[in-house]
Amino acid sequence: MTAADWIALLLMAAAAVFFLAGTVGLLRFPDVHSRLHAITKTDNLGLGFLVAGLALQAGSAAVAVKLLVIWLLMLLGSATAAYLIANHAQRENRPGEGDSGDA
Amino acid sequence: MPDLLPDLLLAPAVVWVAWHALTGRDLFRSVVFFIAFGLLLSIVWVRLAAPDVALAEAAIGTGLTGALLLDAVGQTERGARERGRERRGVAWPTALAVLLLAAGLVMAYAPLRETSGGLAREVAAHLEPSGVSNPVTAVLLNFRAYDTLLEVAVLLLGVLGLLVLHGRRDLSRVPAAERADPVLSWLVRLVLPVMLVAGAHLLLVGSHAPGGAFQSAVVMGGGAILLLLAGGRSITAVRGRLLAAALLLGLSAFLVAAAVPLFTGERFLQLRGETAGRVILAVEAALAISLAVALAALFAGARPRAGSAGEDR
């Protein structure tokens, strides 16, 4: 494995850590807003690390640029979705829901 | 063994998610699990080396079907969330029948794997004169074009049935979203051109790489649905005769392409020769437009009428 492979591996491991942290937050935080906060930020950043790792492994620059575009679109989409969900929850007036639910 | 590791993680996850989709506490929960199931299934298709199907599954299973189901859940009374569903026992006869069917399929499939590699070799042998270099597109639009032709007709019948069920002549009375959220409008303005370009790209690239008419149609139809949700007119501006024309465009183009060989001495739907590639591309383009309109109409047609008691989503 070359140096680039090791760096890519580290980046993807970091992505896995972020995704795991986000999912733990999703499962354990008490209400909608804090759960949104956890999942949006960590998933965006985790995907960024994943894309960086994959871009290093990509065969050509075109593929790397496509991966970057995927990440940017995901940023836009998840930010908008988080805003819409939070807005909806706010309008429905459910501040401290308290149900962490079962799986 | 390391090769199988993703599969060993994926298979139980798919079953687990499907179980929760079927036995969820309330409808909304089930729908969310169903969307996750669609996503995992598209990864399964990738593992089975079928990227075209994975593209279609990801777009339709998670995007379009998810939107349709969420819309349906939202239109039931709010009580759907609190009421939950009655807990019934496992339906043992059905479970037994399903298990027997699965066992039968496995027993039928297992000996086939050793004896043949499927039809891959035959398809590869005849790929050159088919006009395209993507074997999936060659099968869909040349070797098995009958099936695709009839599938398109079935989809159109589905849309027609939906419109009839809801008593609509066209989609002009579907309301745009009541409160056009400014953030969503901004996103749609930014992302819709990207979706149209992606749809065109998927269409053009389908002749030599994973892609094709159906995948392109789902992306563009999704864009139309997004525009509808953001308060734009989109599919509802396609009125009356224009809607019928748009829906029939794909099927008609396909039928024309199928009938022309009859006049040049060949058989119905026989695409061969140098023109095959161009004919396939033209038919795919017409199909993509038609199917995009059809998919958007499926979503819009199920929305409540303007002024009726429906949730604003």
Residue B279: how many CB atoms within 10 A of its CB? 21
pLDDT of residue B243: 83
Average confidence score pLDDT of chain B: 82
Interchain contact A76–B (C-beta under 8 A):
yes
pLDDT of residue B179: 67
pLDDT above 70: residue B172: no
Q: Which residues contact B123 (CB under 8 A, 6 or more apart)?
A: B135, B138, B139, B143
Q: Can you read off the two tokens belonging to residue B89? A: 């026992």
- Cα dist from B108 to B103, B114, B173, whole Å: 9, 12, 51
User: What is the distance between the alpha carbons of residues B31 and B71, in angstroms, rounded to a whole number?
Assistant: 10
CB contact under 8 A, B183 and A103: no
Nearest residue in chain A measured CA to CA from B184: A80
Which portions of chain A are predicted below pLDDT 70?
93-103
Check residues A1 and B116 and name the one with the higher pLDDT. Answer: A1
Cα R_g (chain A), whole angstroms? 17
pLDDT of residue B218: 92
Q: What is the ipTM of this complex?
A: 0.81
Nearest residue in chain A measured CA to CA from B191: A73
* Contact predicate B38/B59, CB 8 Å: no
Contacts of B183 in chain A (CB under 8 A): 80, 83-84
pLDDT of residue B310: 41
pLDDT of residue B79: 45
Of chain B, the percentage scoring pLDDT greater than 70 comes to: 84
Long-range contacts of B70-74 (CB under 8 A, 24+ apart): B70/B28, B70/B31, B70/B313, B71/B299, B71/B302, B71/B303, B71/B313, B72/B302, B73/B27, B73/B28, B73/B31, B74/B311, B74/B313
Tell me the shortest Cα–Cα distance from B183 to chain A, in angstroms.
7
* B241-273: pLDDT as tens digits: 888 888 888 889 888 888 888 887 777 777 777
User: What is the distance between the alpha carbons of residues B301 and B30, in angstroms, rounded to a whole number?
Assistant: 23
* B36-73: pLDDT as tens digits: 999 999 999 999 888 889 988 998 888 888 888 888 88
Contacts of B190 in chain A (CB under 8 A): 76
pTM of the complete model: 0.81
